Amino acid sequence: MKFLRNLLAAIIGTLIAFGIMFFMFVFFVSLVNTEESVTVKKNSVLELQMKYPINDFTGNNEGEPFDILFEKAQGLDQILHAIKVAKEDDNIKGISINNNYISAGISTTQAIRKALSDFKESGKFIYAFGDYYFQKDYYMASVADSIFLNPVGALDFKGLSAEVLYFKDFQDKTGVKMEVIRHGKYKSAVEPFLSNEMSEDNRTQIKELMSSIWNSIVSEISADRSISEQDINIIADTLGGRKPEYAKASGLLDDIVYFDEYENRLKQAVGISREDKLNSISLEDYMKMSRKKKLHSGKDKIAVIFAQGNILYGEGGPDMIGQGIMNKAIIKARDDKTVKAIVLRVNSPGGSALTSDIIWRELEIAKGKKPLVVSMGDIAASGGYYISAGADKIYAEPTTITGSIGVFGTIPNINELATNIGINAEQVGTNKNSVDYSFFEPMSEEFRGFVKEGIETTYQTFLIKVADGRNISISQADSVAQGRVWSGTEAKELGLVDELGGLDDAIEAAALLADVDSYSVKKYPKYKSSFERLMEDFGGASIFSREQLIREEIGAEVYGVYKEVKSAMDQKGIQARLPFTLTIK
């Protein structure tokens, strides 16, 4: 017994020692990473590199000690703010875009590009260099005064494509299937479970959506590169950027140089000799400094509430919209007497119809007291549009994916698999419908009827919300609904959004509606601190992102399939969700 007691004491002591060492390690690393005072030297170039995924909002907890343990992300709001500050910063002479892969949606990229275009109005230069330009990278870089490419690099410029995965054969072979009920001619989120190939309706909407987005991209590139839109499409059709010399001959580039030669071009633009040292500052460092500089000031405030991620029932967080954290933010903004108007920034493919309605209701209460304006990001579709529909005014980027006004339900069923492997499930209940559905038994027509009834009720509720919010008839709402998705440009033509523009445009519109001249911006919600997340993760499998570990282990392509299947299995209740998982390449 004494031996076991000593052994147990030794084990506990070791665990405590490791725990103390771990926290000391994190503490010392956090000291090293503590935000130091950032100074910008004269004649500096701002190095625009987006090294991490870009979210609309990363929260109000920047620079906390335990942030290093979590997957990093950059906030679009901070990037745009830094570019605006740099425009007025006399020490910044220009911007160098040196980015080989931007991990962001097209509308996010468009927003950054728009900010860079505004930066150029100061008379300062923008140069861009790439070892390899993917399409989104080139789209952003095309705003530059001069674009350079590595002599052994390439430029991927071929137009947009989309890929949708289909699972019917997989279901037939495994005996694991999804029972689906939907409303909406174009509500094709469930199509991959019903067919092995794309329907013409779905093909039509995806084709038209991508064409609208592509036309917006081509139009902007054409204006900045002085190449006709027709010629740009010819370049895409012939892969005219696949070799550096081809890209230069077609007008996509200004020159083909190595990076050291590119640095000499930057020195020349700044006005120093080749022998002089080029002063540069990274985007990350400049964002630390620019946070302290307010572009808006005033006692009155415009609240910006960020709603990003799938809509799921529950508390929510940085990557998930839940009624818990969202409604707390809405109520705080509503009850704050210094807040004169609310801007809801939506970046969501939708999700739970119930959660969407709960959030919609809280927004309606807030709208009764203060102006409410919506700003749409990369995606504001289905449930994302549901929570937006009641706003006084809606803004979207031209490339925003929106609409998708339709609902569906999916329920996993493993009856065939269970039969094949010899499992039989027996149910006992007290009343006729007390045993309503079993994963192990085929779905009855009666139960399917109940689910269908719920789908139809939710769809009609959705239509009423859209009709009331947009001041149109229910039949008009239905004509642009049926689960059909639209680009921001198309949505404006149809009246689903009011104006094309970004978050700043929405904030200005909110201030105008509130009759406020000078104001500051207050951002919501407040996410849990890195320490709180660390403590939560200690209860799980790892303090590090489990999703990140899976992605690194199985690879990006297989991870995409895994996420598709997991997302379908996780869906609970009636869904107001984007009608497909669309990968635009």
Query: How open is the CA angle 50-291-397, to the nearest 5 degrees?
Result: 55
8 A C-beta contact, residue 50 and residue 80: no
Which one of the listed residues 382, 388, 487, 530 is annotated catalytic?
A: 382
What is the DSSP track for 488-521? Answer: HHHHHHHTSSSEE--HHHHHHHHHHHTT-SS-EE
Q: List alpha helices for 187-251, DSSP H.
A: 191-194, 200-225, 229-237, 244-249
Residue 304, H or E segment: strand 301-308
CA atoms within 13 A on the CB side of 239: 4
Distance of CA 517 to the CA centre of its chain: 31
Residues in the chain: 585
Active site (annotated) includes residue 187: yes
The residue from 114, 187, 248, 340 that is catalytic is 187
Half-sphere exposure of 139 (CA within 13 A, CB side): 31
Distance in angstroms (rounded) separating the CA atoms of residues 500 and 497: 8
Cis ω for the linkage preceding 371 (within 30 of 0): no
Name the residue among 98, 94, 135 with its Cα closest to residue 116: 94
What are the strands, taking DSSP E only, across 103-176?
Answer: 125-133, 146-155, 162-163
Which residue has 């830094």 as its token pair?
82
Write out the catalytic residue numbers.
187, 382
